[in-house]
Structure 1
Amino acid sequence: MDRTAFEAALPRAGFTESVGQDLPAGDTTPEHSHNFDARLLILSGSLILESGGTRRSYGPGEVFEVPRDTPHAEIAGATGVSYIAGRRR
């Protein structure tokens, strides 16, 4: 999915906020959770999401969601990651 289509779809799905994020290679966000649903689009690089004992890597153009109150950790890939995230409260 491209950024334009992703951003156009967010409000239709109830995601009223969006933020961009860039993380350097190997940067790790320890396990945490949010009080909102998150929908992410990877713009460049890769992001590893660790949740429930499993890990999955996402690359450019991939979209995924993290439901509210879901414990997870985020690890930027070898070249870092740039993404946009929608938030639904």
Structure 2
Amino acid sequence: MDRDAFVSALTAEGFAEFVLVRRDAGELEEHAHPFEAKALILTGEIHIRTGGVEHVYRPGDVFHLAANAPHTERYGPQGVQYLVGRR
């Protein structure tokens, strides 16, 4: 999915806030966000573990996290950049 299609699709779903996020290689321990998030990976990769299952997302992939969902994040050797819609 490209950036314009992603923003259009999320806007139609009611997402109004979009944030460009960049993370260096590394990881975050388990945490949760008070908002629902859908993100389009632009560069690099991110590993997200929820419910004991880890998924890897690379450029063009979209991940979705429910509000208050506990998860861990690990960023690839080149880090990651993604555009995230929040609601």
Question: In which range does the TM-score fall when normalised by the shorter chain?
Answer: over 0.9
Tell me the distance in 1 between the aligned counterparts of 2:82 and 2:59: 9
The residue number in structure 2 matching 1:85 is: 84
Runs of 4+ more than 6 Å apart: none
Amino acid at match of 1:44: T
Q: For the aligned residues, what is the CA RMSD?
A: 0.9
Alignment-mate amino acid for residue 23 of structure 1: R
User: How far 1:4 moved relative to its partner?
Assistant: 1.1
Residue 2 (1) aligns with residue 2 (2): yes
1:81 Cα deviation from its structure 2 partner:
0.5
Note the residue ranges of structure 1 that are not aligned, 5 or more in a row.
none
Identical pairs, percent: 44
Q: Which residue is 1:49 aligned to? A: 48
Q: 1:86 Cα deviation (Å)?
A: 0.3
Q: 2:62 and 2:5 mapped to 1: Cα distance?
A: 11
For residues 32 and 18 of structure 1, what CA distance do their matches in structure 2 show? 21
**Rounded Cα–Cα distance in structure 2 between residues aligned with 1:84 and 1:73:** 18
Q: Which structure 2 residue ranges, 5 or more long, are not aligned?
A: none
Q: Deviations over 1:38-73 (max 9, x none)?
A: 001000110000111111100000012001111011
Aligned length: 87
